[in-house]
Amino acid sequence: MSYRHCRKPILVESQVVVGFGPLGSRRAPAVQILLGLSALLVLLILATLPARGQTAVADPAAETPAGLFFKAEGPDAAFEAPLLMSDVKMAVNGLTARVTLRQHFVNPAASWMEGIYVFPLPERSAVDRLTMWIGERRVEGRILEREEARRTYEKAKAEGRRAGLLAAQRANVFVTSVANVGPGDEVVIEIEYQDRVAYRDGRFSLRFPMVVAPRFTPPGETPLAAAEPRAQPASLDAPDRDLFGPVEHPAHGPRNPLNLTVALDAGLPLASVESLYHEVAVTAPDARRRHITLAAGSVPADRDFVLEWTPRVGAAPEAAVFGEEIGGASYLAVLLVPPRDSGETAPPPRDLIFVLDTSGSMYGPSLEQAKAALVMALDRLRPEDRFNVIRFASDSERLFPALRPADPRNLGIAVRWLHDLEAEGGTMMRPALIRALAEAPAEHRLRQIVFLTDGAVSNEDAMFADIAGRLGTARLFTVGIGSAPNSYFMRKAAELGRGSFTYIGKLDEVGTRMDALLRRLERPALTDLAAAWSLPNGADPEVYPTPLPDLYDGEPVVMTARVPTALAALHGTFAVTGRRAGAAWTRRLTLANIAPAAGIAALWARAKIDRIEDGLARGEDPAEVRSAALEVALAHRLVTRYTSLVAVDDAPPVRPRDADLESREVPRNLPAGWDYAKVFGPGAAEMKLRRLPADLMQRINAAGEPIDLPQTATPALLQALIGSALLLFGALLILWWRRSERTAGHA
Amino acid sequence: MRSRRLVPLLGLLALGLGAWQLGGAAWIQGKAWTAQILLDRAWSETRGGARAVPPWPWADTWPVARLTVPRLGVERIVLAGANGRALAFGPAYLESSAPPGTEGNTILTGHRDTHFRFLADLTVGEIIEIERPDGLRRRYTVRSAEVIDARDARLLFVGGRAVLSLVTCYPFDAIMPGGPLRYVVTATAASD
């Protein structure tokens, strides 16, 4: 910061000093150089002055400010965003979860308001329901093509009717808009989605993201599926927002409180239940059920909630089939756990390329976690392996010009290099990714790319296309770092990269998470997976994902299928086959007494849309992808990049004709552990005014007395600098004069 | 050859001007810190019961409070009257605001390059103590810090709570004095 304010005086100083230079220009170049050096010295002194007082700080418990207030210039600058409270209820049933998210929008202002809130949902969630609550009255949402839904909403908004719109910005980023919330009124938007429980390494887990981390948009690159076009609402200063909207400075305290409860029915006796990042209270009605609540009651929406549970020894599932019948068709969800590799066969020599994100969003705990993870990975390399490290921020840099053997000397160089890395700057991830994918793979060596990042970028689609197009025989593994990683990027990059992904949310997880990941890297994958069905009438089910992905150590076969037969009439068998380290593996299952479970059809449809949308990364015609995805999304009422849910109140318009509607975005929190200045630049928050409640603002304008704050800076520093420069200049001048006098005397 | 004679004169002139400027800078800093030593004595007398003790015979200001930040080892004698003369010797109390250590909003201002330089190092939750002339001490907790434009400042008395606003010029390292920006640290009294 100090630079910006120093710049002008520096120029003045240097002109004073350098301006006298030509005096000695003919006879004594040495003195001229000295004069130049003295000017440089002054510049250096100025440049090295410590930057102080950059970080604005604040207390979460700060109350309404009292006493000294600062009136904003325009009438709009001091405003209030709608208050938002979220209430999350998760019902887990075996391998599926039904989640209800209620967003309470409260308008604290004296004017009519439109509230806009950008929030995340799990990247594989099938969002299929929107209900708007006005007090006790409910308005059910309809699924419409995205543009049509927006027009429907805009029309209702203009007419003064209450309306709610839920649109997707990304597979894991959604935006709620709610129109015509009266002064002091509350409108509740209720969103429901279906999610699937992950099972890996003998643990079940469910992730609920709470905040969309600020995203970096590389200059010159338009993020595909850009943010919803909308009238620019009166908002905060430009620097403290990303493409999704404003981000609250921590100095104004955390906002958007969230309450969460989980009703867990694991379907098998439980050994442990653990919440990774939130304190929870757990009650156990019986061996397979748990009721989980947040110990703090409500928490600021600033980090992911992750629940993990493990079955009792011997109760771990080997295979499970769940089913749901809709419209005469059966939808199946299959989980199949292949036997684990013994780990005795040594893997072939490998070439590992680690790509490390050192952008500003990684500053602090995130970078520490990533470094620790990388050091651990380096430690596990064998001498016959080769490796390289690429780091990226605003630029990218390679540790070695080419792959080097993992011998102690090279590893030592790598660890020392890593140690000195700091997080700063933009997230130019794509060039680094392309660099990692570009290296030609060697014969008979496994090429593995390990990508450590928080994924805080907005050009995901461009990178997915890079991965799909350039992967070759390499395999890409992602490691999601920090409190709110971009899970859509982590999963999709790993899927298209035919690798696997993992998350590290705190430093003490590095050990276990990296150990599991490294085992996946070291042990042979289960490849060429295929399912063969023998069903009555030769029916052929529609299975997703297709083809089945390669599986790494600890990963189960997970697939969803649609069979055009009623569930009760469904019988037959199917076999899953695959190969590992040259050996064939087969597992045959009989379809009988399928456990019913709601929501599988939605998960199947979501998996199908995923498959269709992957076509974008593979270079298929976007118009065809769109129409194929649209058909499935409309049939299954799912919110996608092509469809939105909209709810319009049929009651007569509520907003008086003469009352204006103000559009307000609800700022998001900064994810826990992030540094504001590192993301938005040191100056971003400095000039932001404290936003005050409207009534207080009125009182200040009416009764507040202008106050004269005195000047509180002395010219001491200025005088010291001018003084030093003059002394130096005088001394040099005399020195030069004496020398030239002597030369003249000799002559 | 005549112009050559001027060179040493010019050099000496530059030396003289340089010394004068440096001296000026040293004088500002020296005055600021030696005054605090003298003020300490005046504060002891003020606390002893005498009111409005001028620190030196010709002074037109007097100590009204002592401000300490235990963690930073900061101790400052606060002077009456936020004018340029008083500010040269110590942080000053803005007389249109509530008296230090009482209910209402107390505003103290100080030079960013001398007495209030430490504002840059304050963090949220930091404890600030104000000692009043009657010996009563009040503890404040830092709630927020922000940069504002002094031209937009408004004072509104919201009764009931003791609030301390410490104000200095911003940015801290600007070379040119003046400018409209202020750094404001707001602290509220602990409810004891």
> For residue B26, what is the nearest residue in chain A, using CA coordinates?
A716
Chain B CB within 8 Å of residue A49 CB: yes
Tell me what the pLDDT averaged over chain A comes to.
Answer: 83
Q: Is the pTM of this model over 0.90?
A: no
Q: Kindly list the residues from chain A whose CB atom is less than 8 angstroms away from the CB atom of residue B111.
A: 712-714
Q: What is the C-alpha to C-alpha distance for residues A545 and A542, in angstroms, rounded to an integer?
A: 10
Query: pLDDT digit string (tens) for A468-500?
Result: 999 999 999 999 999 999 999 999 999 999 999
pLDDT band with cut points at 50, 70 and 90 for residue B1: low
Q: Where are the domains of chain A?
A: 2-51+729-746, 83-220+229-313+639-665, 319-341+526-635, 354-465+474-520
Cβ-nearest to A251 among B22, B97, B144: B144
pLDDT band for A74, please (50, 70, 90 cuts): very low
Q: Does the pLDDT value for residue B57 go beyond 90?
A: no
- In the structure, what pLDDT confidence band is assigned to residue A235 with cuts at 50, 70 and 90? very low
Q: What is the pLDDT of residue A58?
A: 40
Number of structural domains found in chain B? 1
Q: What is the mean pLDDT of residues A724-729?
A: 92
Predicted confidence (pLDDT) at residue A404 exceeds the cutoff of 90: yes
Chain B residues in contact with A21 by the CB 8 A cut-off are none
Q: Which residue in A675, A741, A7 sits closest to A359, CA to CA? A: A675
Residue contact B175–A736, C-beta within 8 A: no
Q: Provide the number of CB pairs (under 8 Å) joining chain A to chain B.
A: 257
Hey, are the CB atoms on B167 and A709 less than 8 Å from each other? Answer: yes
**DSSP bridge pairs for A452:** A356, A479
DSSP string, A415-474: HHHHHT----S---HHHHHHHHHHSPPPTT-EEEEEEEE---BS-HHHHHHHHHHH-TT-
CB contacts, 8 Å: B81 with chain A: none
Query: Does the structure show a pLDDT above 70 at A390?
Result: yes
* Residue from A633, A650, A646, A652 nearest A152 by CA: A646
Yes or no: say if A654 and A161 are a contact pair by the CB < 8 Å rule: yes
Q: In this predicted structure, which of A31-45, A119-133, A349-363, A396-410 has the lowest mean pLDDT?
A: A31-45
Is B9 an 8 Å CB contact of chain A? no
Nearest CA-CA distance, residue A76 and chain B, Å = 15
Q: How confident is the model at residue A424 (pLDDT cuts 50, 70, 90)?
A: confident
Highest mean pLDDT: which range of A178-187, A283-292, A531-540: A283-292
> Mean pLDDT throughout B148-162?
64
Indicate the pLDDT class of residue A703, thresholds 50, 70 and 90: low
Minimal C-alpha gap between A715 and chain B (Å): 6
Instruction: Give A36's pLDDT tier (boundaries 50, 70, 90).
Output: low
Least CA distance to B164: which residue of chain A?
Answer: A67
In A279-347, which ranges are continuous DSSP H helix?
none
User: Which residues are bridge partners to A322 per DSSP?
Assistant: A333, A595
ipTM above 0.95, yes or no: no
Q: Can you say whether the dihedral through the CA atoms of A217, A222, A225, A227 is positive or negative?
A: positive
- Give the rounded percent of residues in chain A with a pLDDT score beyond 90: 57
Helices (H), A589-715: 600-617, 622-635, 676-680, 694-703
CB neighbours of A384 closer than 8 A, spacing ≥ 6?
A349, A405, A406
Q: What is the pLDDT of residue B190?
A: 67
Question: What is the model's pLDDT at position A682?
Answer: 54
Cβ–Cβ below 8 Å for B175 and A721 = yes
Contact: A713, B113; criterion CB under 8 Å = yes
**B73/A contact by beta carbon, under 8 A:** no
When mean pLDDT is compared across A401-415, B118-132, B144-158, the lowest value belongs to B144-158
Of residues A9 and A176, the one with the higher pLDDT is A176
Q: Express each pLDDT in A329-379 by its tens digit.
A: 999 999 999 988 877 777 789 999 999 999 989 999 999 999 999 999 999
**Residue A65 pLDDT greater than 50, yes or no:** no
The range of the structural domain enclosing residue B38 comes to 2-189
> pLDDT category, A692, cuts 50, 70, 90?
low
With an 8 Å Cβ cutoff, is B58 touching chain A? no
Q: Give the whole-angstrom CA distance, residue A126 versus residue A172.
A: 10
Cα-based distances in Å from A514 to A197, A214, A379, A658: 21, 26, 11, 61
Domain CATH code at residue B136? 2.40.260.10
> Which of A275-284, A679-688, B18-27, B179-188 has the weakest average pLDDT?
A679-688
* Mean pLDDT confidence for A272-293: 95
**Cβ contact, residue pair A711, B173, below 8 Å:** no
d(CA A648, CA A142): 9
User: A16: nearest CA in chain B?
Assistant: B14
Asked if B174's CB is within 8 angstroms of A2's CB, the reply is: yes
Beta B104-109 vs B92-93: how paired, if at all?
A: antiparallel
In angstroms, the separation between the Cα of residue B164 and the nearest Cα of chain A is 9
Q: Which residues of A touch B140 (CB under 8 A)?
A: none
Say whether B176 and A718 touch across the interface (CB within 8 A): yes
- Give the amino acid at A40: L
More confident residue, A16 or A728: A728
pLDDT at A7 over 70: no
Q: Does B105 touch chain A (CB under 8 A)?
A: yes
Residue A461 pLDDT more than 60? Answer: yes
Cα–Cα dist A606/A730, whole Å? 78
Query: Which is higher by pLDDT, A351 or B4?
Result: A351
Cβ-defined contact of B152 to A703 (cutoff 8 Å): no
Contacting residues of A for B61, CB less than 8 Å apart:
none
Instruction: Give which of A98, A105, A91 is closest to A126, Cα–Cα.
Output: A98
A62 has pLDDT over 80: no
Chain A residues with beta carbon closer than 8 angstroms to that of B21: 719-720, 722-723, 726
In angstroms, what separates the C-alpha of B49 from chain A's closest C-alpha?
30
Residues with Cβ within 8 Å of residue B116, at least 6 apart in sequence: A712, B91, B109, B110, B166, B168
CATH number of A319-341+526-635: 2.60.40
Q: Residues near B157 by Cβ (< 8 Å), separated by ≥ 6?
A: A67, B98, B104, B105
Whether the predicted pLDDT of A384 surpasses 80: yes
Over the stretch A504-533, which tens digit does the pLDDT of each residue have? 999 999 999 999 999 999 998 999 999 999
What pLDDT is stored for residue B160 in this prediction?
A: 55
CATH numeric code, A83-220+229-313+639-665: 2.60.40
Q: Is B42 a residue whose pLDDT tops 70?
A: yes
The residue among A136, A166, A170, A169 whose CA lies nearest residue A152 is A166
Section A60-70 average pLDDT: 44
Range A354-465+474-520: architecture per CATH = 3-Layer(aba) Sandwich (3.40)
Q: How high is the pLDDT of residue A432?
A: 93
Q: How far is CA A441 from the centre of its chain?
A: 31
